[in-house]
Amino acid sequence: MTAKRANLPFDLCKFEFSEGYRFLLTSIIPVHRRPPGWGGIPVPWSDQENPAEKETRKKPGGTSYSKNLGWPTLSGFACPPQEGKSGQFRSLLHADNFPYTPPMPKLIPILSRLLILILATASSAFAQNDPEWTEPFPPFRIAGNLFYVGSKGLASYLVTTPQGNILINSDLEANVPLIQASIEKLGFKFKDTRILLISHAHWDHDAGSAKIKELTGASYMVMDADVPVVESGGKADFQYGDRPEFLYPPAKVDRVLHDGDEVKLGGAVLVAHLTPGHTKGCTTWTMKVTEGGKTYNVVIVGSPNVNPGYKLVYNTSYPQIAQDYQRMFDVLKSLPCDIFLGAHGGYFGLGEKYPHLKAGAANPFVDPDGYKKFVAEKEQEFRTELAKQTLAAK
């Protein structure tokens, strides 16, 4: 008689378990509901271990269990160790190798709840903000009338002029007081913010915009393709629009920008370059600053990242995404850059460069070679991911 297979629409062998999941597993499945000989948590493979060579002993119902492994190997099946995965915790259950035996009606709902909890926990972990995003960072003058007023992980910039100031990136709602404190610590007034700009319409760069508009009355200017996302509070985003954890207070845009538009105030001129892909209206800002009698070209990169889950091939929500990414890299490579900055401090080495910013010394943020290297590395990452997805789609 051929054993029936359980109809499980998932492969638990693909899941890797951290220490946190050890608690999760032992908490969700009571001792009296676990199969005989199951310790309730998986154990790590070692580089020398080969599950196929483990001595096994038979149990009623035709299920065999390894002496040295905590998980049951139903029908003698075990997920093999994968290259580079030694020490990882792995499940030994696979949908295609899961026999339907009398205990299964009780086990299937347990495993289903376990899977749902694992996915929910993973999603929550992804949505959680990086602690560095809200970690204060000393505000400082980068060069000329350009100042850094962001956190350790989320970059915000202040351009000062005699007629008021321009703020680039509102960041998270929780960061608004931090940005205000940084501006005031530098000796400027937060309420003198006349214009608010962003690098792109993701919650970590624009969620605080509605609050800043309310507090300062600043005019909000956004690249055309990102306007629907900003004004919907993220709901119009091609990737995250249906994810509540990525939504934020909507804000009315006062001026719709287009590629090449200039934003002027009190002698300062910023140019908006459309560098799409990461978002449809991702914007790289350029301006000139004068320091010590010398003029520098400043580039504030929007984002060249291909986020996890982005579809570069057959993306019905954003059909031209791959072409837009390539357009973005072409634009970035064409921009003259002396002072290299970006939407995240990690792009341009904020933490590493800041300690070297000393009076009379060379400005560490003048880094044209670092800019070229960053763009080249990100373009290669994009091409690698595009090739991978293209191959998988064939």
Greatest C-alpha distance within the chain:
89
Residue 361 confidence (pLDDT): 86
Over 60: is that where the pLDDT of 55 sits?
no
Is the predicted pLDDT of residue 56 greater than 70, yes or no? no
Q: What is the rounded CA–CA span in Å between residue 370 and residue 85?
A: 34
Whole-number pLDDT of residue 91: 39
The least confident of 59-68, 146-155, 253-262 is: 59-68
Question: Closest by alpha carbon to 180, among 204, 129, 203, 214?
Answer: 214
**Nearest C-alpha neighbor of 257 from the set 176, 195, 307:** 195
Our measurement of the distance from residue 337's CA atom to the centroid of its chain's CA atoms, rounded to an integer in Å, reads 26
**pLDDT higher for 305 or 61?**
305
> Taking a C-beta distance cutoff of 8 angstroms, is the pair 193, 165 a contact?
yes
Confidence of residue 111 (pLDDT cuts 50, 70, 90): low
Q: What's the rounded Cα separation, in Å, for the pair 194 and 216?
A: 7
Dist. CA 210–CA 247, nearest whole Å: 13
Asked if pLDDT for residue 277 goes beyond 90, the answer is yes
Which residues sit opposite 260 in a β-bridge? Answer: none
Alpha carbon distance 56, 65 (integer Å):
6
Strands (E), the chain: 16-17, 56-58, 64-66, 89-90, 140-143, 146-148, 157-161, 164-168, 193-197, 219-223, 255-257, 262-265, 268-274, 283-291, 294-301, 339-342
Among candidate residues 16, 178, 189, the one with its CA nearest the CA of residue 25: 16
Q: What is the DSSP letter of 102?
A: T
Rounded Cα gap, residues 179 and 310, in angstroms = 30
- What average pLDDT score do residues 99-109 get? 58
Give the least confident one: 43-57, 90-104, 180-194, 298-312.
43-57
**168-178 exposure pattern, b = at least 16 Cβ within 10 A, e = fewer:** bbbbbbebbeb
Please write the tens of the pLDDT for every residue from 113-138: 665 555 544 444 445 578 999 999 99
Under 8 Å CB-to-CB from 62, ≥6 apart: which residues?
3, 75, 99, 101
Q: What is the pTM of this model?
A: 0.70
For the chain, list the domains and their CATH numbers: 12-127 (no CATH), 131-392 (3.60.15.10)
How high is the pLDDT of residue 109? 65
Indicate if the pLDDT at residue 235 is higher than 70.
Answer: yes
Query: Residue 90: CB partners within 8 Å, gap ≥ 6?
Result: 13, 15, 16, 17, 42, 45, 79, 81, 82
pLDDT at 112: 63
What mean pLDDT, rounded, does the chain reach? Answer: 79
Give the pLDDT confidence score for residue 350 in this predicted structure: 97
Average of pLDDT values for 67-72? Answer: 38
